[in-house]
Structure 1
Amino acid sequence: MEERLLKAFIAVADHGTYGAAARALAVTQPALTKQIQAMEARVGGALFRRGRHGAEPTELGRALLPDARDAVERLDAFVLRARRLTAGGAGRLTVGFGLSTIDIAPRAVAEFRRRRPGVRVGLDDLSSAVQIERLRRGELDAGFVRLPVDEDIAVLELGGDELVLAVPEGADPAAGAEALITELGLVALARSTNPGFVALIDGYLAAVGLRPRILQRAHDIQTVLALVAAGIGAALVSGRAGAIAPGLRLVPVDHPAARWRIGLAWARREPSPTLSVFIESTRDMCEDPSGDTGHHDNE
């Protein structure tokens, strides 16, 4: 099936009229009509019913629309990957990281650059869910993520992480995490910023039967930690992220629901030579005792 026919089908479904879809695709309406007719001939049935209110997908059209979107997304990802490789993409590497790997990712990149100084590396702060989607679309070469992940993603396991409670310097850590959460209330990440991590916190709180006051939400971990340092409540954060924040006390959270594994992830296909070196250098860094990637790993 030609890409232009699939895109014509999707455009009419999204815009609801042939005229609006033609304008979006920068083609004439008669040309768009011919494309839809050609696709209908290929699939053996009508895709739209045209009436006074526009074009409405038929039952066949509704059934095929998700497959058409998936096919176009996969083709776009293929083209993007091909262009990156043919335009010198082998000399670039795009890597994602999140809260749980804020200490590992920069060291892994530094080790890789020692081995391949001519390769340009982009390092982006992204949630695990966003990293996985970008890996699938070919927009990211590798990502440091929370585990587990789906089977279409390959993983090099790096160790573990856990929740800790960040509290102001004046707080008494001897009271314990649960008592301090109840006493101080929480500064929390906005759910839209990192829904997976917020869901993990929700799971822990539910497991211990706590419904704390949420004093304020912020869109990044730096702001969350700054608010805690200023005395506005406590915060449940990744132990690895909290360990690099000065001026705070970190109280252990000793509960199975507060622990998880982390790893380096990439799309399950033959890695490029550049990505292979990055995977190898990250593995070597983990196996080096001085790398200490098992920080906060209680398993």
Structure 2
Amino acid sequence: MDLRLLRMFVAVARAGHYGTAAIELSISQPALTKQIQVLERRVGAMLFVRGRQGARLTTAGKALLPDALDLLDRADAFERRASSVAAGDDGSLAIGFGLSGIQLAPQAVALFRSRYPRVAVSLDDMSSAVQCERLLAGTLQIGFIRLPAPVGVDSLRLRRDRLSLALPSTVDPPRSVAAWLDGRPMIRLRPDRGPGLTGQIDRLYAELGCRPLVLQEAADLQTVLALVAAGVGAAVIPASADAIAPDAVRLIPLRGRAASWWIGAAWSERSLLVDRFLAAATEAART
């Protein structure tokens, strides 16, 4: 249906007169009459009865007027929202984060939402590998990943993270971390839940020349920290997990080339919304 014809139909219905409606629409009355006739042929019914008093809606015209008004209202709403989306003030963003972004991602989202409250933002926990797969598939707009990013995914460095030894607060830090870790039963996150973290820890163990044992595995970092707090054992975790660590846990930063890495924001397709979120993430990373 041609929205222009519907606007003419509504204008005549509201004015009750072809001449008055023609003036409002800035067209000639004969041209308006012809357009209404085109609309009547399309719907297959007369919409107006013309007389000395002007133009009166027929039964069909009265029945179709509410639908015409609804269509025009929705078309106008679409145009307003399209303009808002194009301006970056409206729309939606699907954002992913993993262990590396457990602190930074929520901070960036909070800052972005404070500036663009009409943008719908979803934030989901997933590994860096899954985030990159979804970025390439187009189901995720931004990810907080462990760098470097794979081919096809662009990234922006935001903040460095490093591995820390999580101990119960009642336990004194070891003098020689490598000797202390060698052969010690440790709590760890399940490798399938954090493959990037597992690889980082394994590289550090190889660098330190130690081989800790696995005492217990957990499906999430909160459970790992809870087990450490309960005195079950120690764990190697990202230093950024300090944001969710209970008071009964102390974190000891670990040294070594493999002990640190970059956290970055990643994307595969740029847009105004993505650019605005990257600006918020960059600002959040500086705090």
Question: What TM bracket, shorter-length normalisation?
Answer: 0.5 to 0.7
Cα distance, 1:204 vs structure 2: 0.9
How many pairs are equivalent? Answer: 201
2:186 is aligned to 186
Give TM-score scaled by structure 2 length.
0.65
CA deviation profile, 1:207-244 (whole Å, cap 9, x unmatched): 11111121001111111111111111110000101343
User: What one-letter code is carried by the residue in structure 1 that aligns with 2:107?
Assistant: R
CA deviation profile, 1:27-81 (whole Å, cap 9, x unmatched): xxxxxxxxxxxxxxxxxxxxxxxxxxxxxxxxxxxxxxxxxxxxxxxxxxxxxxx
Cα distance, 1:273 vs structure 2: 2.3
State yes or no: 1:261 paired with 2:230.
no
User: What one-letter code is carried by the residue in structure 2 that aligns with 1:284?
Assistant: E
1:219 is aligned to 219
1:244-255 to 2 correspondences below 5 Å: 244-246=244-246, 247-255=248-256
Contact 1:177 1:251 in 2 (8 A): no
State yes or no: 1:228 paired with 2:225.
no
Contact 1:108 1:281 in 2 (8 A): yes
2:152 is aligned to 152
CA deviation profile, 1:129-153 (whole Å, cap 9, x unmatched): 1111110001111011111112411
State yes or no: 1:195 paired with 2:181.
no
Cα distance, 1:112 vs structure 2: 0.4
1:11-22 to 2 correspondences below 5 Å: none
The DSSP-based 3-state class of the residue aligned with 2:252 is: strand
Cα distance, 1:280 vs structure 2: 1.9
**In 2: Cα distance, 1:182 partner to 1:166 partner:** 16
Judged with a 3 Å threshold, the aligned counterparts in structure 2 of structure 1 residues 230 and 179 are, in CA distance, closer, same or farther, namely farther
1:3-152 to 2 correspondences below 5 Å: 91-152=91-152
Cα distance, 1:174 vs structure 2: 4.5
Choose 94-103 or 272-281, whichever is displaced more: 272-281
Contact 2:142 2:266 in 1 (8 A): yes
Cα distance, 1:184 vs structure 2: 5.0
1:286 is aligned to 285
User: What one-letter code is carried by the residue in structure 1 that aligns with 2:154?
Assistant: A
**In 2: Cα distance, 1:180 partner to 1:242 partner:** 22
CA deviation profile, 1:68-97 (whole Å, cap 9, x unmatched): xxxxxxxxxxxxxxxxx9xxxx62111111
User: What one-letter code is carried by the residue in structure 2 that aligns with 1:254?
Assistant: R
Cα distance, 1:179 vs structure 2: 3.9
1:17 is aligned to none
**In 2: Cα distance, 1:180 partner to 1:170 partner:** 16
Contact 2:169 2:250 in 1 (8 A): yes
Across the aligned residues of Structure 1 and Structure 2, the Cα RMSD in angstroms comes to 2.2
**In 1: Cα distance, 2:117 partner to 2:137 partner:** 27
Judged with a 3 Å threshold, the aligned counterparts in structure 2 of structure 1 residues 131 and 204 are, in CA distance, closer, same or farther, namely same
Judged with a 3 Å threshold, the aligned counterparts in structure 2 of structure 1 residues 149 and 165 are, in CA distance, closer, same or farther, namely same
User: What one-letter code is carried by the residue in structure 2 that aligns with 1:213?
Assistant: L
**In 1: Cα distance, 2:221 partner to 2:152 partner:** 30
Judged with a 3 Å threshold, the aligned counterparts in structure 2 of structure 1 residues 180 and 242 are, in CA distance, closer, same or farther, namely farther
Contact 1:112 1:281 in 2 (8 A): yes
Cα distance, 1:249 vs structure 2: 1.2
Contact 1:161 1:238 in 2 (8 A): yes
Choose 143-152 or 159-168, whichever is displaced more: 143-152
User: What one-letter code is carried by the residue in structure 2 that aligns with 1:146?
Assistant: R
**In 1: Cα distance, 2:174 partner to 2:214 partner:** 22
Judged with a 3 Å threshold, the aligned counterparts in structure 2 of structure 1 residues 286 and 251 are, in CA distance, closer, same or farther, namely closer
The DSSP-based 3-state class of the residue aligned with 2:273 is: helix
**In 2: Cα distance, 1:183 partner to 1:109 partner:** 41
Cα distance, 1:286 vs structure 2: 3.4
The DSSP-based 3-state class of the residue aligned with 2:192 is: coil
Judged with a 3 Å threshold, the aligned counterparts in structure 2 of structure 1 residues 236 and 210 are, in CA distance, closer, same or farther, namely same
**In 2: Cα distance, 1:179 partner to 1:234 partner:** 14
Contact 2:183 2:211 in 1 (8 A): no
